[in-house]
Structure 1
Amino acid sequence: MTPPEAVIFDIGNVLIEWQPERFYDARIGAERRRAMFAAVDLHGMNDRVDMGQGFRDVIYEVAEANPEWRAEIRMWHDHWLDLAAPVIDRSVRLMRALRARGLPVHALTNFGIESFALASGHYTFLGEFDRPFVSGHMAVIKPAPRIYEMVEADLGLSGDRLFFTDDRRDNIDAAAARGWRTHLFEGPDGLADRLVAEGLLSAEDAA
């Protein structure tokens, strides 16, 4: 089987851990966090940012609409780099090993415009992709079919010429429906094994 011609990484929970609940558990306690997440659609709020709306504007708007949780909701903006942490080091090494072999490596991520700029300034490896496809700039989020169409059109590649890894089953299923080779990310060890199986890395490179 011919290896894929490009690899596409999701970022959250593939290259950088993204566990807002864990952050809030540490800051305000699990019981209060559960109450806040039940009362306020914080992931829906984040989807608006990922669609390209203003990072601070959206979060502060939701905070003002929920005064009981105002201070806590503002943390989503004010302490954002603490939410998006830590780096998954082995995943970054795999990404760099692929690039070292001359393979095009891209990102396809649900990320806001300003939050991606903030993350890129802090996590410099985010500047190493051949092409970062960031939902905020594209005004569409995974798993909408349109975002995958836009990637194909930009790269001039489609179907099994693309290999995509993401931690969410719905995002993977949407890519697989277009014929992309996919890997549901459950940890860097499994991804390393799959990259070797696809002929993209040697076992030594993937170690």
Structure 2
Amino acid sequence: MQRKEPFRAAIFDRNNVLIEYDFDVAQAFFGPLLPISIFELGDRWQTWGETVGFPATPADETPFWQGFWQHLGDELALSASVVAKLHTFEYVSVLRPFPDARPALQAAKDRGLQVGVLSNFPLATIETSLAATNLLDLVDIAFSSTNIGVAKPNPAAYQHIMQALDIAPTDALFFDDTRIHIDGARQLGFTAYLIDRRQADHDLKTGIINNLEILPTLIDKGTTNFPD
């Protein structure tokens, strides 16, 4: 079904929609320093955050990271020089934008849409990550779950960005790579697309796309309902 009213906003998840992790860069930094894989490192970092609490503000992030590196050093019996090297790590160094991310955001802006980012990223510096990947200048508002104290698919997370953009859910396109987040958005009335970059083709009948190159078409001729 084609819309009668134009969209006013496009809202994007961050990870696997706009940005991905460069594991080669991560391995190049951590490989010579640690006796564990970068994936185990990620698991330990997540456990640390769940144990001590993820930082609620950018100012809280430095002590959060410092505590984690010291804790990891103690657990793995790392040398002082290795721990000192770990303290120099900047997480934005392993982020890279998908090639279609900036063109998609630009296409939305060119068509007069507001652009929002709503992520369950557990750090407060989501704007820093968008700036580091050359996307922030095209984003009107960005929230992480840590910023707002609630995560998708809780309706309050979507409502938070709706209020910030002064829109109704029916005014917006929504893009995420997690099915339950898409379902949550659709239940509120968003025109929501699941992005699966592993899929060979788009499946617009079910609201699945495999990249953001189709965004201009979705804005201009978007559908408003999908089967369950």
Residue 43 of structure 1 aligns with an amino acid whose one-letter code is Q
Residue 185 of structure 1 aligns with an amino acid whose one-letter code is I
Correspondence for 1:68 among 70, 75, 93? 75
Between the aligned partners of 1:117 and 1:94, the Cα distance in structure 2 is 18
Indicate conservation of the 8 Å contact 1:51/1:135, yes or no: no
Instruction: Give the structure with the larger helix fraction.
Output: 1
Indicate conservation of the 8 Å contact 2:13/2:176, yes or no: yes
Correspondence for 1:83 among 85, 90, 94? 94
Between the aligned partners of 1:14 and 1:49, the Cα distance in structure 2 is 23
Q: How does 1:1-207 map to 2 (within 5 A)?
A: 1-2=2-3, 3-18=6-21, 23-26=25-28, 27-28=30-31, 32-33=36-37, 36-37=40-41, 40-45=43-48, 48-49=53-54, 51-52=56-57, 54-66=60-72, 67-69=74-76, 75=86, 78-84=89-95, 86-111=96-121, 112-113=123-124, 115-187=125-197, 190-193=211-214, 195-199=216-220
Between the aligned partners of 2:196 and 2:24, the Cα distance in structure 1 is 18
Equivalences, count: 197
Tell me the secondary structure at the aligned position of residue 176 of structure 1. Answer: helix
Quote the offset at 1:141 in angstroms.
2.9
Residue 199 of structure 1 aligns with an amino acid whose one-letter code is D
Indicate conservation of the 8 Å contact 1:107/1:132, yes or no: yes
Quote the offset at 1:7 in angstroms.
0.6
The TM-score with structure 2 as length reference comes to 0.68
Quote the offset at 1:90 in angstroms.
1.4
> Could you tell me the percent identity over the aligned residues?
20
Quote the offset at 1:6 in angstroms.
1.1
Between the aligned partners of 2:99 and 2:126, the Cα distance in structure 1 is 19
Q: Which runs of 5+ in 2 are unaligned?
A: 198-208, 223-228
Give per-residue Cα distances to partners, 1:82-103, cap 9 Å, x unaligned: 222x221212101101101212
Quote the offset at 1:126 in angstroms.
1.0
Residue 193 of structure 1 aligns with an amino acid whose one-letter code is I
Indicate conservation of the 8 Å contact 1:164/1:180, yes or no: yes
Indicate conservation of the 8 Å contact 1:148/1:175, yes or no: yes
Q: Which runs of 5+ in 1 are unaligned?
A: 202-207
For the pair shown, the structure with the greater C-alpha radius of gyration is 2
Quote the offset at 1:177 in angstroms.
2.4
CA RMSD of aligned residues (A): 3.5
Indicate conservation of the 8 Å contact 1:50/1:135, yes or no: no
Please say which of residues 172-181 and 96-105 is displaced more in the overlay. 172-181
Give per-residue Cα distances to partners, 1:116-158, cap 9 Å, x unaligned: 3533443342132122234333233333332112122333323
